[in-house]
Structures are given as C-alpha cells and as structure tokens.
Amino acid sequence: MNSILTSIPTERGFRGLIDAAASLATTFDTRLDAVAIGYETTSIGLAVEGGTAVAAIYEIERERAQARAEGALSIVVAEAQRRSFQCKCIPMTATPFEAASTIGALARLYDLTIVLQPEVEVESYDNTLPQEILFEAGGPVLFVPYTFRGPLKMSNIGIAWDGSRLAARAVRDAMPFLKNAENITLITVNDTTHPETSAQALQARLIHQGLRVTVSRSFAAPADIQPMLLSIAADTGLDLIVMGGYGHSRLKERILGGVTRGMLESMTVPTLMSH
C-alpha cells in the first residue's frame, strides 16, 4: 500500500481516527495525507445588499472555514511529530454540498481512505461525509469507530462473504491487510451462493496464497445479519472486518434497513468497505 488519505473532521473529535491512521502509515511505511474541510455556511439570502458587502461577508466566512480546517490539521501535525510518521496536510474550504464530491474526487488518487464512523446522535456536517466518500472514492474506505482507541491491529481479520461482486471487490482491496493477518475468518450467513463463489471456494483460494483461513457459517433472518456479524466479531476477537458496502441502494437501506447502514450506526471494530 503506497498511499493513504484520511478525512479529518472539523466539527467532531477524532482521536481514534488518528490512532488508526498513524498505525497504518507506520505499518505500511508510507506517508499519511490528511485533508480537512472547513464548511462555508453563509447564505447569500442573508447577506446585506451590495456586491462589495456580499463579497466581504463571504471572504470572512471563507477565512473562518480555512482556520477551522487548519486548526484540525494542526493536531495531525503534532501527532505526526510525536509519533514520528510522515504526513502532508491539505486544508480546504467548501459548502457542505460541495464537500463530499471534493474529498471523494481527491480520494480516487489513493490506495486507501480512512474516515471516522458517523455519529447518528450528533448533528454535524462531518457525519454525512464518510458514506459519501464511500460512494465517490472508487476504492476501499476504512471506517474507524468513534469509540476506537489505540493502534489498529491486523492479526485477526473477518471477511463478511456472500459471493457478491461487492464482497469480492472488498477482498481484493483488503489484500494488503490480509497478507499481514495471522488468521482470517470467512463469515457467511445464509450461504446460498454458487459453488464457484462459496465460502469454501474463497477459503481454498486464500489458502493457496499462503493465508490461514477458517470459515464461520451461520443462519439468521435478514434483520439479524448485521448484529450477528458484530456478535461473531466479539466472540472471535476480530481486529478488522472486511465487507462490501451498500449492495442495495441507499434509499432502500434507509427504508428497509440493511447490513451497511446497521454497521455504520453500530460498528464496534474498524471496518473496511468497498463499493
């Protein structure tokens, strides 16, 4: 893995995010690029009349947004100096509407993007960015739980496997992590895949690559799949979960519920998703 980007919140705490990102930069011996967006929220409808006055108001708001971005990144710089890893800071300003596409486009240039799990109880523009980045990045996104602390371990990894295109994409994207693992658990729930894409077939393929792999098979109602994944993660002491993200549309997941939405709301271990 040669390039890592992390999206630094400007409206939320992010200690766990820095812990995880710093440990990965050290593990893969690569520079960590950190981007932070200060949100410009001034509405032109509230601005006083007159072009010069409007321009002045927007410039003041832009400067404040820039200061928020630089303030968040100053913490990253301090941590990089303390922990001795290389970093590059990218402060940006944007409206909340523009922020996701801006960081999403930037993320397409990196092997991995690291974000903080959304916190549903907190009203913040920072909560909308992570899943938008998942859709925009075109590559793997590592979600770090907002309760996470300490370095990210990779010795015990679980793969949520259903034989789908997204699950296969996630496995390919996760290979740098899998190669560092001491044990990999393939988690399959209600396995009805074709023999060619069964958990047993994937297990054989990964073992052929020199990896140690076991299979965990379970059965559950659709609404219980996500809680079961977290239960298995706790029982087996997983350090990381690998899975496809949003196999259904976001609208369908919002209305009917879904594994991705459930994981984003209640993940307990770092989760690598690919879309």
Q: How far is residue 8's CA from residue 264's CA, in Å, rounded to a whole number?
A: 17
Domain encompassing residue 19: 4-144
Q: Is the pTM of this model over 0.75?
A: yes
Q: Which residue has the higher pLDDT, 265 or 42?
A: 265
Predicted local confidence at residue 83, as pLDDT: 87
Answer with the one of 97, 120, 144 that is the final residue of a domain: 144
> Looking at the structure, do residues 68 and 110 belong to the same domain, yes or no?
yes
Type of residue found at 259? V
Is residue 149 situated within a structural domain? Answer: no
Predicted local confidence at residue 252, as pLDDT: 47
Paired sense of beta strands 240-244 and 87-94, if any: unpaired
Q: Torsions phi, psi of 46, nearest 5? A: -100, -5
pLDDT in tens, 57-110: 778 888 999 999 999 999 999 999 998 899 999 999 998 888 888 999 999 999
- Which range is least confidently modeled, 48-52, 59-63, 271-275? 48-52
pLDDT in tens, 216-250: 988 877 778 888 898 999 999 999 999 998 765 55
Task: Give me the number of domains the chain comprises.
Answer: 2
Domain with 181 in it: what CATH number? 3.40.50.620
pLDDT tops 70 at residue 36 = yes
